[in-house]
């Protein structure tokens, strides 16, 4: 799923992470589904962090100009 999420704006990634968190907090959620959701959330979190690091690098570059 990370490939499909590559085109999503950062804000959409964060919204999806929020939705996953809400679903993971449901006590009726089964273990197998929880693991799938957790894996998706982990991938989205890594992608979001990478985008934040890229943005920080761009800001630093602009600050030096």
Indicate the average pLDDT of the chain: 92
Mean pLDDT of 42-58: 96
CATH classification of the domain holding 23? 1.10.287
* Residue numbers of the domain that contains 16: 2-64
pLDDT digits (tens, 9 = 90+) for 13-36: 999 999 999 999 999 999 999 999
Q: Is the pTM of this model over 0.85?
A: no
Burial classification of residue 53, based on how many CB atoms lie within 10 Å of its CB (0-12 exposed, 13-18 middle, 19 or more buried): exposed
Q: Please state the domain count of the chain.
A: 1
Q: What is the pLDDT of residue 42?
A: 98
**Which spans in the chain are helix H?**
2-5, 10-24, 31-64
Residue 33 — left, alpha, or beta (φ > 0 → left; ψ -120 to 50 → alpha)? alpha
């Amino acid at each position: 799923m990370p490939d499909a999420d590559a085109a999503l704006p950062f804000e959409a990634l964060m919204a999806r992470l929020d939705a996953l968190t809400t679903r993971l907090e449901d006590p009726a959620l089964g273990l197998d589904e929880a693991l799938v959701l957790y894996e998706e959330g982990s991938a989205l979190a890594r992608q979001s962090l990478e985008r934040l690091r890229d943005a920080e690098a761009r800001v630093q570059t602009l600050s030096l100009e």
